[in-house]
Structure 1
Amino acid sequence: MISTDYSAAHLTVLLVGGGLAGLAAALDLARRGHRVVVVERRPYPFHRVCGEYVSNEVLPYLRRLGADPAGLNPAGICRFGLSSPAGRLLASPLDLGGFGVSRYELDHFLYQQALAQGVEFLFATVADVAFDAAADHHTVTLADGRQLRARLVLGTYGKRSALDRQLGRPFFGQRSPYLGVKYHLQLPGFARDIIELHNFRDGYAGISAIEEDKLCFCYLTTRANLKVAGGTIAALESEVLARNPRLADILHNAKNLYSQPEVINEISFAPKRPVEQHLLMVGDAAGLITPLCGNGMAMALHGAALAVPLADRFLRGQLPRPALEATYARAWQQQFGTRLRVGRAVQHLFGGPVLSELVVGGLRHWPAAVRTLMRQTHGKPFS
């Protein structure tokens, strides 16, 4: 049962968004004894545009939260493949490895774990967040007019939200050319221990196994590519993606398990700030790594692990708000700043047919460089 009393005296933490960062942070805070409310637009379970590969660096943290994903029967992934637009393939082991599981299952699982710990959920849209410096609390206004007051608010709403406009975040006013498409497939014979990334003109697609006998197929491209292909996803895939013979084989032989793909627009990789108007931003709301580097899910969980101990100290009166914000911003930059910079640099190496061919061709004969790049975009196990 969700309480209807959201006065400042009762509500300590509110999280705007219930993705991986929000769910993990809510579960962690609740286990530390805090009252937590998560505002999420849609009831679980539901699909999200996501590559659905998670580095094993997250496992100690999830296990500490009592949320070991092993019960979801994820695919174990230990190999990596990368193809150029012409289909030339680079292969490498994944040193730490990872697992594949759908957001539909993982988010719902974490939601159930959070409910069991007493986390409260409101399925609504946040219209505004205002900070009262004199009272040292936030007022969160929902789209239906209700207002909630909380001592601390975490922005865990993902890549992009109308709240970014209300907060005046610079990236929101800059048009991004990127769009993402995702659906699940069945493809007999596809190895369940590999994640593959396949380049095509102005984009790349990832494919890897998830639970059961399903595969996640997710790609990033540009609106210009979609327009050139006549404005339809089907034409985009047949006229642009399929020029890579490896993608042509996947698209021709796989069974699509979605009636319609999940699509998102305006994906921005521009730098963001981890603290905005006294909100701690966590996960993609704080910074989005390029999908080519394939570790956004782990970064979302790691961001929660960074924010929660500091939030706990603040809520217990052991850390003043200025120190909370400065310490979190510094810790976030130290942990993720290099990853994001490397990710943006790597993004520029792919997409153009000539440069992509040269990079893949060169890296095929330089395995040490491949593993170095992977280490730069992945972290170490954390708890």
Structure 2
Amino acid sequence: MKNRIYDVIIIGGGLAGLTCALHLSKQGIDVLLIEKDTFPDHKVCGEYISNEVLPYLNSLAIDPLAEGAISISKLKISNYNNKEIETTLPLGGFGMSRYYFDNLLFKKVKEKCKVVFKTVESISFQSEIFTVTTQDTTEYKAKYVVGAHGKRSNIDKKLNRKFSKQQSPWLAVKAHYDYEFPLDTVALHTFKGGYCGLSKTETGAVNACYLTTYTSFKKYKGIEDFQKNNLSKNPNLKQFFSEATPLFDSPLTIGQISFQPKNPVENHIFMIGDSAGLIHPLCGNGMAMAIHSAKLFSELFLKQHTTKKMNRSSLEKEYEKHWNNTFSNRLKTGRYIQKLLMNETTAGIGFSLLNTFPNMLNMIIRKTHGNPIQHA
């Protein structure tokens, strides 16, 4: 329908976009989801999800554990000086690949709303209506637009978002491996210039995903050399990369990962997931935050829509307030922890303190995670 005006267009079909589309469409909202890549597809991601979002997912008829997700209750941390800390996670979580998890959500979403696989070229807003134009020059119109396009996108540059003009020092590498690894554990192993997370996925494969700086990486000839001669200075990572069998033809990579503060609303577009703000992966809460942000927007939108008193300005203010109240302190804590961890001296002091006062680690974990969120 050429003249169709959707209630909401969601740009991006990651965890946040898919969850938002499912939540809204289940309540009768006319939603269009635009995603550039087809499903299923692997993505650079830690693939550990905090249990804080499990009740909410269940309320949307998504049950990761019934689909084979691995229940995780323990955390192991080590540094390249061979110091180790182990603890029980306050809430716990589950391991599931983005390949499976995103596709699980997508299959539910396509039953409820229209999905098109195209790349967005531009977004304009005039007379209270958005026009979203894709690269094939197709125009889609909606009363509201949600940005769920991920960590960094050309859309951010076209919207003139401040962080998109700045160079980022971070890159990430991810692959799956065949390796004997505890089912109930997520591990975080540091190395000079970064850290690597390990955890099991629903297939039994171990997901290894690490974040590092360009400065550290460019000293080596490539990924294999970097893993062999830098990551492997941590004994845990040395054992892993020497014994594990890669299951991908080659690792996945992503660059220019920005942890700079972002605005939850830009040019009247509601940002959710990594488009609104990205927590440092060492906190292990990025996937849960993406899902939670989708819930925040969906509930605020539906509250106004139900009363038939839609007010863009008040909705934008409410979403910004709720987003900041929910996530700002987590992001600040994540940035602070990363600074400490990336400095050899402060990291050493931190490990010594955590070994002496083990309860401090659970306090830190709680600062970067939320309580279980209520049903939709």
TM-score category by the smaller chain?
over 0.9
Which residue of 2 is the match for residue 225 of structure 1?
Answer: 216
Deviates more, 1:352-361 or 1:167-176: 352-361
Contact 1:72 1:101 in 2 (8 A): no
Match of 2:42 among 42, 47, 50: 47
Match of 1:187 among 175, 179, 184: 179
Match of 2:115 among 121, 124, 127: 121
2:251 counterpart of 1:270: no
1:184-233 deviation per Cα after TM superposition (whole angstroms, max 9, x unaligned): 11112x11101100000110000011113211100000111221012x11
Which residue of 2 is the match for residue 376 of structure 1?
Answer: 367
- Equivalent residue letter for 1:206: G
Contact 2:259 2:277 in 1 (8 A): yes
- Equivalent residue letter for 1:222: T
Match of 1:25 among 17, 20, 41: 20
Deviates more, 1:344-353 or 1:170-179: 344-353
Aligned residues: 373
Which residue of 1 is the match for residue 131 of structure 2?
Answer: 139
Match of 1:152 among 138, 144, 164: 144
Match of 2:105 among 110, 113, 116: 110
Contact 2:65 2:71 in 1 (8 A): no
- Equivalent residue letter for 2:114: E
How far apart are the structure 2 equivalents of 1:205 and 1:6? 48
2:187 counterpart of 1:196: yes
How far apart are the structure 2 equivalents of 1:180 and 1:228? 16
How far apart are the structure 2 equivalents of 1:352 and 1:6? 56
Give the secondary structure class of the aligned counterpart of 1:258.
Answer: coil
Contact 1:85 1:356 in 2 (8 A): no
2:356 counterpart of 1:332: no
How far apart are the structure 2 equivalents of 1:277 and 1:333? 18
Deviates more, 1:335-344 or 1:363-372: 363-372
Deviates more, 1:101-110 or 1:144-153: 144-153
2:285 counterpart of 1:295: yes
Q: Tell me how far 1:6 sits from its aligned partner.
A: 5.1
Give the secondary structure class of the aligned counterpart of 1:263.
Answer: strand
Unpaired segments of 5 or more residues in structure 2?
none
Match of 1:281 among 271, 289, 302: 271
How far apart are the structure 2 equivalents of 1:379 and 1:22? 20
How far apart are the structure 2 equivalents of 1:95 and 1:350? 21
Q: What are the equivalent positions in structure 2 for 1:43-122 lying under 5 Å apart?
A: 43-116=38-111, 118-122=112-116
Q: Tell me how far 1:314 sits from its aligned partner.
A: 4.1
Q: Tell me how far 1:296 sits from its aligned partner.
A: 0.3
How far apart are the structure 2 equivalents of 1:287 and 1:219? 19
How far apart are the structure 1 equivalents of 2:2 and 2:8? 10
Contact 1:72 1:105 in 2 (8 A): no
- Equivalent residue letter for 1:169: R
Give the secondary structure class of the aligned counterpart of 2:342.
Answer: coil
Which residue of 1 is the match for residue 342 of structure 2?
Answer: 351
Let me know the Cα RMSD of the aligned residues: 1.1
Match of 2:240 among 241, 250, 254: 250
Which residue of 2 is the match for residue 360 of structure 1?
Answer: 351
Give the secondary structure class of the aligned counterpart of 1:164.
Answer: helix
- Equivalent residue letter for 1:12: D
Q: Tell me how far 1:258 sits from its aligned partner.
A: 0.6
How far apart are the structure 2 equivalents of 1:372 and 1:182? 29
How far apart are the structure 1 equivalents of 2:65 and 2:91? 17
Indicate how the Cα distance of structure 1 residues 338 and 6 shifts in structure 2: closer, same or farther if over 3 A, else same: farther
Which residue of 2 is the match for residue 309 of structure 1?
Answer: 299
Match of 1:7 among 3, 17, 26: 3
1:101-139 deviation per Cα after TM superposition (whole angstroms, max 9, x unaligned): 0000000000001112x211111111111111xx21111
Contact 1:54 1:100 in 2 (8 A): yes
Which residue of 2 is the match for residue 210 of structure 1?
Answer: 201
Unpaired segments of 5 or more residues in structure 1?
none
Contact 1:6 1:149 in 2 (8 A): no
Q: Tell me how far 1:84 sits from its aligned partner.
A: 1.3
Give the secondary structure class of the aligned counterpart of 2:65.
Answer: helix
How far apart are the structure 1 equivalents of 2:118 and 2:315? 28
How far apart are the structure 1 equivalents of 2:33 and 2:171? 27
Matched-pair identity in %: 39
Contact 2:194 2:212 in 1 (8 A): yes
How far apart are the structure 1 equivalents of 2:2 and 2:348? 57
